[in-house]
Structure 1
Amino acid sequence: MNKHSKNIRQQLIQLLPENTRAFINTDEFSNPQLNLARNAFLEGFHTSLNLSEENLPLLLDQIPNNKLGFFIEGAGMALTLHDELTPRGEALLPKFLTYATPIELKFSAIGTGWASARLKKPITWMPDHVMPQFQDDVINGYGFYEALFNRHRLKSKNYFSDLALESDSFDLGLGRSLWFIFDAKIPPILEVVSRVKAERQKLIWKGIGIAASFNQNHAKKALLIQSSGSFLPCLNSGCEIGRNLIDEINKSNKLKHYG
């Protein structure tokens, strides 16, 4: 590792805590499943920056299933930031993904979307080494980040309409983000969702369903169903996607370890 790359890593390690206060919930009554996801993201961010290049490809085999999604998103964000801020090669993200399965590539692309938003790239920006089929996932991560760190905009009517027009995936990520911003508390989520047009509400409800299901917030299911009203099919669609993601993680890890 050259000196410049090492300095970039250290700067990124210091950067994250300053910029993720909105992501961490220190309330002792906060949702435990979401705290697991939050901590996994931060762990992935820091661990990936602290590992040597030769050990990066081995990291994916060391992540427990219940942390895998957000851990990889955190690593994807950190390593994308590193690669964009480090000139003349030494790209770390491709090394991390050397043995990645399709589901792991998907989560990493979401993390790349976090980095893209952090760097204020165009919403359709893609690093050269991220395959085109994962562009929707990059934009999903972009939407998550924008809502999380610009939540003041959620108070406006038709918030983020400029970005949402670019891709439906933006609002899927925004919906997932709302689940974390409000710590799975449904009344404030409903208030925010109501501020946009119905077509966007469909996508946001789908994103909420993905987050609730993937993070296994089963205790919220009845109230979510009741609260979604005419958007119940969108919520259900998102919940199914969340369940499928969990299944893909489990199947992927079985194939890795048992061939």
Structure 2
Amino acid sequence: MAIWNLPRLRRWLFGIPPREITVERRGFVGGTPATRARIEQIGETFAYGYHAALESPAMDVLQPRLEAMETERRGFAYEGAAMGLALLDYLIPGRRGGRIAAFLAGPGDAHAYMVHVGIGWALARLPRRLEVNLRHLDPLLRWLVLDGYGFHQGYFHWPRYVTAMARPRNLSDDGLEVFDQGLGRSLWFVDCADPVRIAEAIGRFERARRGDLWSGLGLAATYAGGVEQGVLEDLHERAVPYHAELAQGAAFAAKARERAGNPTAHTELACGLFCGETAVVAAKVTDDILQRLSAEDRGSGNAPAYEIWRQGIRQHFEGTP
């Protein structure tokens, strides 16, 4: 029997130790005890899905394990599972891409946004040319893999990518913009949802990068939650002049939860503050803008199509107080 067929060995070789996702181990500071606990809870949920995929990659076994997670956090479990499946696709001969393809064609479809992000976590740990290896994925959503890559680098390597503001050398200019969206998402975790620390961190980056960082921050705050209304209001005030970017990220989060069928009160609250709309309306904005893209643009895989989508959403929300 090949060693790859031993679930416990796969987890032993590639698993994430529980301590690695604690805020203390990661060196994250700021926030309240409740917020820090929420951040750790999300990390634990991601790890649950990741380990479930390593141990039980067959869809008929994996899906029930993921669905056992409470609805509100289920998307994080699917994200983790995508990382595990992508890792197995690369490491186990003869099945390159097969597990992820089956996941997206089956139980992962409703969580497609989170699945693509999770693939980015795997690619961050593999010796692969990132953009070249996205060609087998959805032409538009494949760019979210680079968002996941950016999040991973910020979450696990924040001294280099947040404090020192380094940028990867293996991405195109278009890819770097999506990387920064993911890096912005990581700030919600690295700075433990502390508006002061987040705004100061983004303010240290060069101006050309700040919009994408605020976009990712809006996505994380709206999807992950874990704070009271006053924290979101403070964050919104500090996001000037990037309210449209913050709203674009929030709308993406609303769409991800709508597609997955796991709406939350904190997503509704954040959309009201950042978008001036309900979560349902904010999600519809992303659909409306996407429908305006030509079939040629949507199917080409060109980053400009993804960026045109984001720009259209931002333009819709420009002028939002």
**TM-score of the aligned structures, taking structure 2 as reference length:** 0.68
**Residues 1:56 and 2:67 aligned together:** no
Aligned to 2:84: 78
Instruction: Please state how far the C-alpha of 1:244 moved relative to its aligned partner.
Output: 2.6
Aligned to 1:155: 163
In structure 2, the CA distance between the partners of 1:176 and 1:251, relative to structure 1 (3 Å rule), is: closer
Instruction: Please state how far the C-alpha of 1:217 moved relative to its aligned partner.
Output: 3.7
Tell me the number of residue pairs that the alignment of Structure 1 and Structure 2 aligns: 249
**Residues 1:47 and 2:52 aligned together:** yes
Alignment of 1:1-259 (within 5 A): 2-7=1-6, 10-18=9-17, 21=20, 23-25=21-23, 29-31=33-35, 32-51=37-56, 53=58, 54-56=60-62, 58-59=64-65, 61-89=67-95, 91-100=98-107, 102-126=109-133, 130-153=137-160, 154-156=162-164, 158-160=165-167, 162=169, 163=171, 165-167=173-175, 168-219=177-228, 220-250=231-261
RMSD: 2.9
Secondary structure of the corresponding residue to residue 240 of structure 2? helix
The one-letter amino acid of 2:61's match is N
Instruction: Please state how far the C-alpha of 1:86 moved relative to its aligned partner.
Output: 1.0
Post-superposition CA distance 1:29-82 (Å, at most 9, x none): 151443332121011011122226242355554443212221111000011111
Assess if the C-alpha contact under 8 Å between 1:147 and 1:178 holds in 2.
Answer: yes
- Structure 1 residue ranges without an equivalent (≥5): 253-259
The one-letter amino acid of 2:178's match is S
In structure 2, the CA distance between the partners of 1:19 and 1:109, relative to structure 1 (3 Å rule), is: farther
Q: Percent identity?
A: 24
The one-letter amino acid of 2:184's match is G
The one-letter amino acid of 2:245's match is C
Assess if the C-alpha contact under 8 Å between 1:8 and 1:86 holds in 2.
Answer: no
The one-letter amino acid of 2:196's match is P
Post-superposition CA distance 1:190-211 (Å, at most 9, x none): 2321222222100100100000
Instruction: Please state how far the C-alpha of 1:215 moved relative to its aligned partner.
Output: 1.3
- Structure 2 residue ranges without an equivalent (≥5): 264-321
Secondary structure of the corresponding residue to residue 140 of structure 2? helix
The one-letter amino acid of 1:35's match is E
Work out the CA distance in 2 between the residues paired with 1:170 and 1:17: 23
Secondary structure of the corresponding residue to residue 194 of structure 1? helix
Instruction: Please state how far the C-alpha of 1:87 moved relative to its aligned partner.
Output: 1.4
Post-superposition CA distance 1:128-168 (Å, at most 9, x none): 75333321111111111111222121222x42164473422
